[in-house]
Structure 1
């Protein structure tokens, strides 16, 4: 990649991070910050504003890095790639934010508005990145998944995520609100699994030259894992006492998504690569 293009990518990331910060300032009335927070050592040392800004830079840089890594295998061409990738990451981040309703008892409208304040800038970033000059080997002619395959993908990811998450809830491996807010916890977990299935459809059956295991690892650990991890790291970066829980979530969810992808495109399911993508 040429230096000029790298500079443009960095500039896009910085601009979108600034836009993210501005949106959070504008929507400050919907903030979900606790009244008497127990800040982390990092936040105590650097201050909350700098810590939050560093987190935003980390999460947006991670999303931009993944886009640059997988751009050539995202279905479509030009801005269509950005729309697909931006929609996928925006959905992941927005739904991640909505878990705070059951975890912390925050109003859903607050979590939704704060989530949108991150989702909109990352969607914009993907669009801007897609406007940069194309690399050789990008997919142009891409056939969509048939409806049957889309339904199967969403169903499998939903089932795997639901089962895996509830196993973690019941065993106490991760914090959850299934006892205090059982309905919302179930509803969120169900929709989060479906959301990941939609992300899989948006980004296509990646890496047609790779084995199924490597494709599953690429989707689970690279595409989902990096974007999930950088977003969730907000809590332990800013507050004390969340590190173990967040790391457990990242590991469990990444493994569940990897398994879900493997089963979605594995033998017997019928979603093997045959030259079609979503």
Structure 2
């Protein structure tokens, strides 16, 4: 990242991601366009802001991988593929969630969601190829406790957002679909933490939870959730409700999930050591 070649490679990867995203738009029907009015129809000047947001999302996505990948075990292309796929799936199910809330065509949601995921997967592979390093480091023993803990805490937190905070959802009208999607989102976040955990082991637990929740997961999630207010003509109140009811709480639930699941894991391991 300190030389011109690295910067040019990074720009090239981001450019490929943007092209993959933009070339799909004429062919994929936006499922939310039937629900919201496109802001760009009323004001073409907003279109560049959407493009800037895509570039920023891909930029932070790339920089975070470059910063943490050296401490993650595995082949460099494998690391890039898993990283890109996990974030791609988060974006994919973000589209599916909006489709469930607004009763869109599931076929359109799937196609549009795959269109969101594809650039991230391709970029992840390219980042692994050009910026990754195959490594086998000394790492702490892993177990499934964080996967279970983060999934459950996130899912319970989401229902607090639905019921108490009033986050937009279909948990009453479509309870099974909403529960399934909530669990899937929680599972994806927990797997993402499991994947990057080795890169965070040198932090104390509180900082580890913060770095994962607000930086690795949070920056991407905040930027992703900015697309709707930038592209669609919704009110400032709806935008604030979206962030206060969904985006910010989601990040907090991820942080809490990491903190408490790791606390339980350490406590469990200490008890096992004591019995020996």
TM-score (norm 1): 0.85
**Among 129, 132, 136, which residue is 1:140 paired with?**
136
Q: State the alpha-carbon separation in 1 of the partners of residues 120 and 77 from structure 2.
A: 14
Is the CA contact (8 Å cut-off) linking 1:157 and 1:257 kept in structure 2? yes
How well do the aligned residues superpose, as a CA RMSD in angstroms?
2.4
More helix by share: 2
Deviation at 1:45, TM superposition (A): 3.5
Which position in structure 2 is the counterpart of 1:12?
13
Which position in structure 2 is the counterpart of 1:251?
248
Count of residue correspondences: 263
Aligned positions of 1:40-51 closer than 5 A? 40=39, 44-47=42-45, 49-51=47-49
Is the CA contact (8 Å cut-off) linking 1:88 and 1:202 kept in structure 2? no
Aligned positions of 1:127-276 closer than 5 A? 127-134=125-132, 139-141=135-137, 149-150=143-144, 152-239=145-232, 240-241=234-235, 242-248=238-244, 249-266=246-263, 267-270=266-269
Is the CA contact (8 Å cut-off) linking 1:55 and 1:234 kept in structure 2? yes
Q: State the alpha-carbon separation in 1 of the partners of residues 43 and 86 from structure 2.
A: 34
Is the CA contact (8 Å cut-off) linking 2:80 and 2:132 kept in structure 1? no
Q: State the alpha-carbon separation in 2 of the partners of residues 232 and 126 from structure 1.
A: 21
Q: State the alpha-carbon separation in 2 of the partners of residues 44 and 75 from structure 1.
A: 49
Q: State the alpha-carbon separation in 2 of the partners of residues 129 and 260 from structure 1.
A: 28
TM-score (norm 2): 0.85
Aligned positions of 1:49-68 closer than 5 A? 49-68=47-66
Q: 1:143 to 1:36 in 2, by over 3 A?
A: closer
**Which consecutive residues of structure 2, in runs of 5 or more, have no partner in the other structure?**
271-276
Deviation at 1:176, TM superposition (A): 1.2
> What does the per-residue CA deviation read over 1:59-81, in whole Å, with 9 as the maximum and x for residues that have no partner?
21221122122222233242122
**Which consecutive residues of structure 1, in runs of 5 or more, have no partner in the other structure?**
272-278
> What does the per-residue CA deviation read over 1:131-161, in whole Å, with 9 as the maximum and x for residues that have no partner?
12557xx743466965xx12x2222112101
Is the CA contact (8 Å cut-off) linking 1:88 and 1:203 kept in structure 2? no
Deviation at 1:123, TM superposition (A): 0.8
Larger mean Cα displacement after TM superposition, 73-82 or 117-126 = 73-82
